[in-house]
């Protein structure tokens, strides 16, 4: 077996290498570079969002249960009528959501973590909406899918309105504190 001179040198001086210790400050430098800033999770805010979403989902299923009449045959709505209703609702809610979003982002301009949480929540809701659009394309229970899609817009609008009220309340509290200082 052929060995090179570096390997022979390392083997012959192994004990000398084992005696050397690295500088203790070296580990401190490595450790400080591994620390990442902690991200504050707004648990109360996320809890409120999930509560609102759960209430809307429960309300949707409750209304489906109440409106289902076992003695009557379900009335089939023409797909074109359902699509028309969806388009009207989409136009209305999109305008409302855009207006509320602008207000929320203006009021929360000094709270980037809040706007990021809202964006992530909307991304999750939009992912669900995309799956509803696929179901609508499959023409499976069209009326139910359309109602779920409209409910999607209502949830987004409700989230924005709740956040807007909280931000306005916080803004009002800051103004009161500032007036007490003066």
pLDDT at 111: 80
Domain ranges of the chain: 5-34, 43-181
pLDDT at 37: 54
- What is the structure's pLDDT at 3? 67
| H helix intervals, the chain | 5-12, 14-19, 24-34, 43-67, 79-107, 112-137, 142-181
Assigned token pair, 40: 């504050």
Mind listing the pLDDT tens digit for each residue in 35-88?
A: 655 555 566 777 788 888 888 888 888 888 777 755 544 444 455 787 888 888
pLDDT at residue 141, rounded to an integer: 58
Q: pLDDT tier at 2 (50, 70, 90 boundaries)?
A: low
Collect all residues with Cβ–Cβ distance below 8 Å to 151 and sequence separation of at least 6. 56, 57, 60
Give residue-wise pLDDT tens across range 122-164.
Answer: 888 888 888 877 777 766 557 888 888 888 888 888 888 888 8
Distance CA 9, CA 6 (A): 5
pLDDT digits (tens, 9 = 90+) for 76-131: 445 578 788 888 888 898 898 888 888 888 888 888 887 788 788 888 888 888 88
| 144 closest CA partner among 52, 82, 59 | 82
């Amino acid at each position: 077996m052929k060995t090179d001179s570096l390997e022979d040198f390392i083997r012959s001086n192994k004990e000398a290498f084992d005696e050397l210790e690295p500088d203790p400050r070296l580990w401190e430098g490595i450790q400080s570079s591994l620390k990442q800033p902690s991200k504050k999770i707004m648990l109360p805010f996320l809890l409120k969002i999930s509560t609102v979403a759960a209430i809307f989902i429960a309300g949707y299923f409750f209304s489906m249960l109440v409106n289902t009449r076992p003695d009557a045959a379900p009335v089939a709505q023409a797909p074109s009528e359902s699509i028309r209703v969806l388009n009207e609702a989409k136009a209305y809610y999109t305008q409302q959501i855009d207006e509320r979003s602008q207000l929320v982002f203006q009021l929360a301009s000094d709270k980037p973590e809040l706007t990021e949480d809202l964006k992530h929540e909307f991304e999750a809701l939009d992912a669900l909406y995309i799956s509803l659009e696929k179901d609508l394309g499959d023409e499976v229970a069209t009326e139910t899918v359309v109602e779920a899609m409209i409910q999607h817009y209502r949830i987004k609008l409700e989230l924005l309105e709740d956040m807007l009220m909280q931000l306005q309340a916080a803004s009002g509290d800051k103004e009161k504190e500032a007036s007490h200082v003066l």
